[in-house]
Structure 1
Amino acid sequence: MKPVIVVLGLLFTIVVNARYSEWEEVRPYCGARSRPQCCVNRNDECFMPYYDSRCYCDTFCFRGYDNHDCCPDHDAICEGIVPVPITQPPPPPVTRGTCIDYETQQEFQIGTSIKRDCNVCQCTTLGYQAQWSCEEDLCVNSPDLLQHIKQQQSYTGWDGTHYDRFNGIKVKDALKYYLGTLPDPSLRLMVEKAPDNPADYYQMDEKDAFDARTNEKYQNKIRGIRDQGKCGISWALSTVDVASDRLSLVGNIHWAREQLSVQNILSCTDAEAKNGCEGGRVAFAWGFIKDNGVVTDDCYPYESGRTGNIGDCNFRLNYEDLMSIQQHRKLTNLNCPSGSTNAQHFNFGPAYRIRNEPRSIKYEIYFRGPVQATMLVTPDFFLYKDGIYKCQNNYDRQNPRYANLNAYHSIRLLGWGISTDPRTQQQESYWIAANSWGEGWGKNGYFHIRFGDCQVEETVIATYGKSTEVLRKKHKRQKRSDQESNNI
């Protein structure tokens, strides 16, 4: 009988990979599947029953010693690997009924959960032994993604870093709650505003650089960087900040340095304009400030980034107020949610679209002020540090799980510049853009993005920047002119 026992022991060693415990039952799993016995990449249909769960026979199943769901005969059947004796000491023995976090050497009871970056791991049992069962979502601060960005830096021309604000944040959640612009085909139907002077329009080709923040005409009139927090509101925030910039540039009104209220738009727009903190539609934001106006931030402070919801509207206009806005009259005696008595209210002319080509956008920024743009964001953008950002990291070829992970984000374009492409050594132009993730991200809250990348030029919007006072004066002048014409 002893020779038979020895032979069975050798067969057991060949079939069962060293990553499995000694108690594992010897029987075929992948070897019992009909063709194909094994599958490439991740295939949720490539499994076999395994006790009260399942094990897999694809090339995606092994992700670490204590974090895999391969079948016991996976290596032998799928990869033709005959296990070799373990040369390294085995991991510390696990006490029955507990799990050990090998990073901290802490011991946890069954049912306890811990967090590893953005994924939750729970101590569960499999057979008689306790082990960790972990979520497998992609994390924003992925070491592998950052390493790829840095390896490609000499070719792409931009660098990345990890940010504490994204610790423990999943990519799928970041795309929902740190961006916030829903696709809106109606924006393409907006009226385009033509240049006032065609000669100035064509001269834009000769201007290689412009920055509204430092230009003498615009200096001290451009809004800084805000932080939207964990609420997808870029659709509304970029709208009010562009409106604020444009209003500052109207020279014949007295304009306080107070920001316009994004909370006013978030909470008081129609329900179809938004999807809570998961985004909204730019067209509704522009329509709201044209029809209803917007108060200053001291009247209706922003709190959605802290609370995680947009809340109910706490500032409502009555019929007389709406009539006053239509007649370009300024509202007074505002009933502010904050209780402020010094707040102001402004409304604007209609928004318009800028033709999606660099010359038109440059002309608009140079002569009329900053504009709103919508860009397509992929996971690497969250890690941007400096340089000229490009939508060409190709990381999804190495990790297919990153394929088709994207969402839209609205930003402000404040100018442009020119640099040298490190790959081609040719001159390349870039936009100077303001993000809304605070000054601790990117270049003090700003970033550069190459002309044409990430669909950044496809939907560019601006407003006339005329306040109630300016429109009222224009209305009076037009009325006086009409009366004089009638008297002739």
Structure 2
Amino acid sequence: MTRIFFFVNILILLLNATNARYAEWEELKPYCSVRPHPQCCASRDDDCFMPYYDSRCYCDVFCFRGIDNHDCCPDHDSVCKGENVSLPTTPAPQPTGTCYDPSTNRQYSLGESFRRDCNLCRCITLGFETTLSCEEDLCVNNDELISHINQQQQYLGYKVRKYDKFNGVKVKDALNQYLGTIPDRSLRTMVDNAPDNPTDYYGMDDVHAYDIRSNVSLVGKIRGVRDQGKCGISWALSTVDVAADRLSLVHNIKSPKEPLSVQNILSCTDKAAKDGCQGGRVAYAWGFIKDRGVVTENCYPYESGQTGHIDECKLHLSDADLQNIAQHRKVTNIQCPSNTKDGEHFNFGPAYRVRDEVRSIKYEIRFRGPVQATMRVTPEFFLYDSGVYRCGGSNFERQNPRYANLAAYHSIRLLGWGANYDQQGQPKDQYWIVANSWGTGWGTSGYFHIGFGECEIQETVIATYGKSTEVLKKKSRRQ
């Protein structure tokens, strides 16, 4: 009987609770009225509460009620003070089912999604309202960054612009997908190659401009610009292109008509050499072409730039092939993955380091050919258009801290150097002439200029002898 009386009281209280007015939008339901006794607390009591959405509301006399916020339960006044509180005068608002995007002046239905540059936006329900929920990642084609740099062009020395290939691309993805070199400080311990002629070596201080592409005797021998696509392979691509350049400069040998295959290195190196399309290690690429050589592009075509991943190796060398490579002999009868009969295989000598000083790098390019360098890339570099690029300097990251520490490494080819001149005819703003691997639609037909010493570009410069047999001949002559 007592239990029946208790439930009757609860039912009466539930009916009374509906008279409590809390806010115009409040969904009326009991809180204090269904608390175990005591329903209301006469003094301050932090345990005198009820669950309220994802928070809690209180039923003690010290709960707070203000115009904009409160922590009293909706039925506090009715249950704890005995006041008759009227029902809401307006019904609770319901989701409209559409979201408005002020940047495009468009309406989107509930559940619909769209991209705002590189960020995905969705029309969702939040509480009793529909609202746009958008990602907030940094985009490569950032209007604010482009405007900031171009306004300072006369001080920074270079211009930037948008590129269609980076539409909808996030900075964090571009750093992974369009670069592709894992830093390896052990490269700095490699043995360097001393200059053959000290006079020529020191004479480089007075040579303020040189472009190996303009050397009449080398016309047609230096490789152009390739496009690595959406796969971080600069560690391998710069290696084979520098190797091909060096091979074409060695006298009395047949240079490849086709580019050398970067896919051969990507797919056939050890797993330790790479992290898929997220990048790889330069030392492994050079070691691979020394120990196993590399075939031409028509034999093993490049696919990873389109697929976004690296497949298993499709080119297998026999023991006899490996023995020929070790003895610096030409490997023939290669079973090309493309099934072409015109594919060729080339051997190379060991790689070596070039001293990280301007004079040594100049000498190396002038007398031995293009070299590979690794640079530190920050978001501005993706937008380079023309001029002499320099790392930082725009101070944009100070105004936008989210840009701070966004960087990765990229390997490229140095083909020469140049300088701008002051009014007295003295060189200033000296720079390296560099071939990138993002196609001819980027930068200046695929090339760019970068100031001496900028972006760590002189710290890891690597080259190779054109062919192992040539190295052996030179050693024999010296002996």
Shift of 1:111: 2.1
SS of match in other structure, 1:277: helix
Q: Decide whether the 8 Å contact of 1:157 with 1:421 is kept in 2.
A: no
The residue that corresponds to 2:84 in the other structure is none
Deviations 1:369-421 (A, max 9, x none): 00000000000000000000011222111101000000000000000001148
What is the rounded CA distance, in whole Å, between the counterparts of 2:422 and 2:386 in structure 1? Answer: 14
Q: Residues of 2 paired with 1:106 and 1:387: CA distance?
A: 39
Contact kept in structure 2, 1:140 and 1:169, CA below 8 Å: yes
| Whole-angstrom distance in 2 between the partners of 1:94 and 1:134 | 22
Asked if residue 350 in structure 1 is aligned to residue 335 in structure 2, the reply is no
Deviation at 1:106, TM superposition (A): 3.9
Partner AA of 2:447 in structure 1: Y
Contact kept, 8 Å, 1:247 with 1:467, in 2: the verdict is no
Q: Within 2, Cα distance between the matches of 1:261 and 1:358? A: 31
Q: Which amino acid aligns with 2:320?
A: E
| C-alpha distance in 2 between matches for 1:24 and 1:144 | 42
Larger Rg: 2
- CA separation of 1:356 and 1:328: change in aligned 2, threshold 3 A: same
CA distance in 1, matches of 2:468, 2:441: 33
Partners of 2:95 and 2:125 within 8 A in 1: no
- Aligned residue in 1 for 2:340: 340
Shift of 1:110: 2.1
Map 1:249-264; keep pairs closer than 5 Å: 249-264=249-264
What is the rounded CA distance, in whole Å, between the counterparts of 1:394 and 1:233 in structure 2? 30
The 1:51/1:214 distance shift into structure 2, 3 A limit, reads farther
Q: Counterparts of 2:360 and 2:145 in 1: how far apart (Å)?
A: 36
SS at match of 1:267: helix
Aligned length: 395
- Please state whether the residue corresponding to 2:311 is helix, strand or coil: coil
**Contact between 1:346 and 1:467, CA under 8 Å: does it hold in 2?**
no
Q: Give, in whole Å, the separation in 2 of the partners of 1:445 and 1:374.
A: 17
CA contact (8 A) 2:372 2:461 kept: yes
Residue 228 of structure 2 corresponds to: 228
Kindly provide the amino acid, as one letter, of the partner of residue 210 in structure 2.
F
User: What is the alpha-carbon distance in structure 2 between the residues aligned to residue 51 and residue 361 of structure 1?
Assistant: 68
After TM superposition, the score normalised by the length of structure 2 is 0.78
Q: Give the AA of the match of 2:117.
A: D
What is aligned with 1:438? 439
CA 1:420 to 1:396, structure 2 compared with 1: closer, same or farther past 3 Å?
A: farther
**Using the alignment, how far apart are the partners of 2:191 and 2:266 within structure 1?**
25
**CA apart distance, 1:467:** 5.6
**What is the rounded CA distance, in whole Å, between the counterparts of 1:464 and 1:24 in structure 2?**
79
Q: What is the match of residue 371 of structure 1?
A: 371
Seen in structure 2, the aligned counterparts of structure 1 residues 314 and 202 have a Cα distance that, compared at 3 Å, is same
In 2, distance between residues paired with 1:224 and 1:274? 25
Are 2:176 and 2:232, in contact at CA under 8 Å, matched by a contact in 1? yes
Task: Say which SS state the counterpart of residue 353 (structure 2) adopts.
Answer: strand
Q: Paired residue for 2:319?
A: 319
Cα deviations by residue, 1:69-99 (Å, 9 ceiling, x for unpaired) = xxx89xxxxxxxxxxxxxxxxxxx9971222
Deviations 1:97-116 (CA, angstroms, capped at 9, x unpaired): 22233444443332221110
Counterpart of 2:415 in structure 1 is 414
Q: CA deviation at 1:310?
A: 1.2
**CA distance, structure 2, for counterparts of residue 418 and residue 224 of structure 1:** 22
Residues 310-356 of structure 1 deviation map (CA, whole Å, 9 limit, x = unaligned): 11110011211111100111111110000110111011000000000
Query: How far apart in 1 are the matches of 2:105 and 2:25?
Result: 24
Q: Give SS of 2:115's match.
A: strand
- Structure 1 residue matching 2:278: 3-state secondary structure: coil
The one-letter code sitting in structure 1 at the alignment partner of 2:231 is: C
Return the alpha-carbon distance in structure 2 between the equivalents of residues 99 and 184 of structure 1: 49
Q: Encode CA deviations 1:155-191: one digit per residue, 9 max, x unaligned.
A: 0110000000000000000000000000112201111
Aligned equivalents of 2:216, 2:174: Cα separation in 1: 37
Aligned to 2:453: 452
Read off the aligned partner of 1:454 and give its amino acid letter.
C
**SS of aligned partner of 2:188:** helix
Q: CA RMSD in A?
A: 2.6
Q: What amino acid is aligned across from residue 443 of structure 1 in structure 2?
A: T
Q: Give the counterpart letter for 2:129 in structure 1.
A: Q
Report how far residue 218 of structure 1 moved: 2.2
Query: 1:369 & 1:408 partners in 2: Cα distance?
Result: 23
The 1:355–1:383 alpha-carbon spacing in structure 2 relative to 1, beyond 3 Å, is same
Contact 2:331–2:345 (8 Å) recurs in 1? yes
- Relative distance call for 1:24 and 1:401 in structure 2 (3 A) is farther
Instruction: Report the residue type matching 1:409 in the other structure.
Output: H
Give the equivalent residue in structure 2 for 1:199: 199
Aligned to 1:19: none
Matched residues in 1 for 2:192 and 2:422: separation? Answer: 32
Residues 201, 359 of structure 2: 8 Å contact kept? yes
Mapping for residues 134-213 of structure 1, pairs under 5 Å: 134-213=134-213
Alpha-carbon distance in structure 2 between the residues aligned to 1:237 and 1:368: 20
Counting only pairs closer than 5 Å after superposition, residues 37-76 of structure 1 correspond to structure 2 as: none
* CA distance in structure 1 between the aligned counterparts of 2:118 and 2:149, rounded to whole angstroms: 20
Q: Is the 8 A contact 2:208 2:427 kept in 1?
A: no
| Residue 398 (structure 2) aligns with | 397
Q: Is the 8 A contact 1:421 1:428 kept in 2?
A: no
The CA distance in 2 between the partners of 1:97 and 1:137, in whole Å, is 26
Whichever residue aligns with residue 182 of structure 1, its letter is I
Q: Which amino acid aligns with 1:435?
A: N
Stretches of structure 2 lacking an aligned partner (at least 5 in a row):
1-22, 28-51, 56-67, 70-92
How far apart are the structure 2 equivalents of 1:340 and 1:52? 67
Q: Secondary structure at the match of 1:298?
A: coil
Q: Matches of 2:149 and 2:54 in 1, distance apart? A: 41
- The answer on whether the counterparts of 2:120 and 2:134 sit within 8 Å (CA) in structure 1 is yes
Q: Output the CA distance in 2 between the equivalents of 1:395 and 1:350.
A: 42
The residue type paired with residue 303 of structure 1 is: E
2:357 partner letter: E
- Preserved contact between residue 193 and residue 352 of structure 1 (Cα < 8 Å): yes
Q: Which residue of 2 aligns with 1:59?
A: none
The separation in 1 between residues aligned to 2:94 and 2:439, in whole angstroms, is: 45
Distance 2:160 2:111 in 1: 37
Q: What secondary structure does 2:374 align onto?
A: strand
In the alignment, what sits opposite 1:4? none
TM-aligned CA distance change 1:293 to 1:24, over 3 Å? farther
CA distance in 2, matches of 1:115, 1:24: 35
Identity %: 65
The Cα of 1:431 is off from its aligned counterpart by 0.2
Q: TM-score, normalised by structure 1?
A: 0.77
Aligned-partner SS, 1:433: strand
Q: 1:321 to 1:233 in 2, by over 3 A?
A: same
Letter in 1 for 2:264: N
Post-superposition CA distance 1:444-467 (Å, at most 9, x none): 000000001000000000001116
In the alignment, residue 416 of structure 2 is paired with which amino acid?
G
Per-residue CA shift, 1:112-147, capped at 9, x if unaligned?
A: 211100000111111211111110000000001001
Q: Work out whether residues 95 and 128 of structure 2, in 8 Å CA contact, stay in contact via their aligned partners in 1.
A: no
Read off the aligned partner of 2:342 and give its amino acid letter: N
Distance 1:132 1:209, change over 3 A: same
Deviates further, 255-264 or 365-374: 255-264
Following TM superposition, by how much is the alpha carbon of 1:24 offset from its aligned partner in structure 2, in angstroms? 10
CA distance in 2, matches of 1:51, 1:463: 68
